[in-house]
Structure 1
């Protein structure tokens, strides 16, 4: 990869060291330019009129996302964020009393809460897939659990927000398919970081965000719905974009995945998402993934040298999300120290509120999270380590 060009395209690297890519990565110039040009266009022409002028570019967003994850454009819905995309998929599933949802201990609280809501409302059952000795879901246990005919859904994140393993999603997808069970994949931390092929994975639904490793704008995400499933799912919410009013008594839901969208959207952000996808594809997802792994492994190696620091990542395959704790210092204090005016290093804090089950299982309340991207450098990692070495204990 041309790292110098990646950094030249990223104005933020001139101001700070950014290791919060699992939260919101720094946008490259092509994304910023597309969005600002459209906002200026709206100001001069009007919002509706500007969107009309950009109809072809907006349509191209679906094709770009399709190329990114190996899906057809009509299997893609562009939705205002990944949470809402996931919600639209989950709440549209015809889960009935007694149906079982299988998930992992690394499930995000924002997804687990809806499970509990449908447990209260519809009487579904939630079961946790045990982990293997490396911390990812046990494929043997999953296969056994799928033998229960009441299992209706496997739903989990491919990479947890608090680090941990890259789940064996292709094997999970194959097991779910063989059992005739739907598979909903939360790919928020995976899309843009590593190659994603929904055909190989075998997931029926996938939700992802723009703002993380894709390096797009906040407030934008997308949903993939397999074509053969799409028309069998009625979205939990409909409007005049998702459906057409035929008579005063009848309506018709559109055939493609855009039945999960609504009419109003942030057009500039949607164009920004498309630009981010095109930028990632142009750089190459596979070399991006190799670069991220190289940097993350270097960071783990260097962190192991820091007195009082304990690495907290698990898994046979780890990602660009590197988590650690520091003896006698809270994660919030680590974050504040690194962000100090003379250092300007961004990391984040992941608490038990986001991944309660995993954190409880491991006896953790919080971790510091340093998430690398391809535009980061070994020199930036060294600066992070130097700052941690100088950090006073409290």
Structure 2
């Protein structure tokens, strides 16, 4: 299979904008990617001004620059700026959404066995404290989500919320977000999609996926700063009046001693402090929008094809990713060498990656019969030569 890059995809310029990729074999965009220079420059310029004028005055002067975040995020998801809210992280946005849904004792949350660990912990806490019921959709033998089982559970239990993680943090699996969205519309459930690992590497069109809520992070494949994220809120959720339990001053106006007026847009979910980091996130989303998510996806497919093909031919390496559609996350395990030795060898050769343990995805690790894995997650600023170099390093080590 041959992958051709788009004529508008200038890998030389992209790598020049990413000086960190010249000093390492960076394979950790699923954790915290490398920020492009324009992102760093935008934040440095803003921060420098804060040292001269203070944060409040700079926020007043740079309202237009801060507001650019909503336009860029809306463009990325094919929605309107009023449906976008800033968040400190995808998890922060996720918890705001959970607090907005008026759960009753006995209500059902329907999720998967591949959901993000923080989400699963939140569900378990709610189960203990609020008396909700947690159900998980089965997987098919190949790892895909069993949509027949999903529909059966929705039909029988009529869940208040269906929550899935588009791409699990511990696997390259891509879940069928659009198909789940159709089922949620059919059975009237609120639909929450965790897109922390898919935003910035795959096209996300909320008119097709139909989530009521979509959460995303800035630090991963979007290549923004840490402690940034955003939330998409559907018109249906806004018109129903859903709002987080704890409102910040951006979320509502205090109109009398005992009443308030709720912000009409998705900003009812926002915190007060958003200025500096939102500027960096806006620049990161703009950077991705300028390249084009289709071009990014095409480049990533070529990289992952080369990396997967190389590693799957190695004796002693077990690739752990399942499912009919896979992303820019590759996970593997080996019994040929100990984890400390393998980790030390890769880090010595400047490979930047992540080790994950069973506590991050308990059900999935037990199913795969491993207690650790190596996660590699290249991105569009990487090259095919780097994929070959990583394969060669692992080959020689084994």
TM-score (normalised: structure 1): 0.96
Q: Which residue of 2 aligns with 1:384?
A: 390
Which string of whole-angstrom CA distances, capped at 9 and with x for unpartnered residues, describes residues 56-89 of structure 1? 0111110110010112111111011111011101
CA distance in 1 between counterparts of 2:341 and 2:83 reads 44
Deviates more, 1:361-370 or 1:177-186: 361-370
Shift of residue 127, structure 1, vs aligned partner:
0.7
**In structure 2, how many angstroms separate the alpha carbons of the residues matched to 1:27 and 1:328?**
35
SS at structure 2 position matched to 1:299: helix
Q: Deviations over 1:321-353 (max 9, x none)?
A: 01101223344543332111xx21111112211
- 2:185 is matched with which residue? 177
CA contact (8 A) 1:185 1:203 kept: yes
Q: Cα deviations across residues 177-226 of structure 1 (Å, max 9, x unaligned)?
A: 11111110000000000100011001110000000000000010001110
Q: 1:275-286, aligned counterparts within 5 Å?
A: 275-286=283-294
| Aligned counterpart, 1:156 | 164
Mean CA deviation greater in 15-24 or 88-97: 88-97
| Secondary structure at the counterpart of residue 163 of structure 1 | coil
Q: Which runs of 5+ in 1 are unaligned?
A: none
CA distance in structure 1 between the partners assigned to 2:302 and 2:225 by the alignment: 26
- In structure 1, which of residues 347, 355, 363 is the aligned counterpart of residue 361 of structure 2? 355
Aligned to 1:115: 123
Aligned to 1:131: 139
Question: Is the deviation greater in 230-239 or in 46-55?
Answer: 230-239
Cα RMSD of the aligned pairs, angstroms, is: 1.3
Task: State the alpha-carbon separation in 2 of the partners of residues 181 and 247 from structure 1.
Answer: 35
Asked if residue 263 in structure 1 is aligned to residue 269 in structure 2, the reply is: no
* 3-state SS in 1 of match to 2:102: coil
Which residue does 1:229 correspond to in 2?
237
1:252 is the counterpart of 2:258: no
Q: Residue by residue, what CA displacement relative to the aligned partner does 1:222-264 show, whole Å, maximum 9, x if unpaired?
A: 0111022124213121122211111222222211111111212
Number of corresponding residues: 389
Q: What residue is the counterpart of 2:4 in the other structure?
A: none
- Unpaired runs of at least 5, structure 2: 1-8
Q: 8 Å contact 2:158–2:187 — kept in the other structure?
A: no
Q: Which moved more, 1:229-238 or 1:29-38?
A: 229-238
Q: SS where residue 271 of structure 1 aligns? A: helix
Pairing of 1:73-88 with structure 2 (within 5 A): 73-88=81-96
**d(CA) in 2 for partners of 1:178 and 1:330?**
49
Q: Does 1:320 align with 2:328?
A: yes
Partner of 1:370: 376
1:332–1:261 Cα change, 3 Å? farther
Q: Are 1:61 and 2:69 an aligned pair? A: yes
Do 1:77 and 1:260's aligned partners in 2 also have CA atoms closer than 8 Å? Answer: yes
1:305 Cα deviation after fit: 2.7
Match of 1:50 in 2: 58
Look up the match of 2:247.
238
Contact 1:99-1:151 at 8 Å conserved across structures:
yes
Q: Secondary structure at the match of 2:155?
A: coil
TM-score (norm 2): 0.95
The residue correspondences of 1:82-97 to structure 2 (distance < 5 A) are 82-97=90-105
Query: Which of 188, 201, 211 is equivalent to 1:203?
Result: 211
Which residue of the partner structure matches residue 6 of structure 2?
none
Which residue pairs with 1:274 in the alignment? 282
Task: Report the 3-state secondary structure (helix = DSSP H, G, I; strand = E; otherwise coil) of the residue aligned with 2:359.
Answer: coil
Query: Which stretch of structure 1 is more off in the superposition, 211-220 or 235-244?
Result: 235-244
Distance (whole Å) between structure 2 residues aligned to residue 133 and residue 285 of structure 1: 31
Q: Aligned in 2, Cα 1:177/1:331: closer, same or farther, shift over 3 Å?
A: farther
Write the deviation string for residues 281-310 of structure 1: whole angstroms up to 9, x where unpaired.
110101111111211121011112323111
Q: CA deviation at 1:164?
A: 3.6
- Contact 2:172 2:328 (8 Å CA) reproduced: no
Q: Partners of 2:209 and 2:182 in 1: how far apart?
A: 7
SS of 1:98's partner is coil
**d(CA) in 1 for partners of 2:87, 2:340:** 32
Q: Distance in 2 between matches of 1:188 and 1:230?
A: 22
Distance in 1 between the 2:88 and 2:232 partners? 14
Question: Does 1:36 pair with 2:41?
Answer: no
User: Any idea what SS the aligned residue of 2:100 has?
Assistant: coil
Looking at structure 2, the residues matched to 234 and 287 of structure 1 have their Cα atoms a distance apart, in angstroms, of 36
Task: Report whether the alignment pairs 1:105 with 2:107.
Answer: no
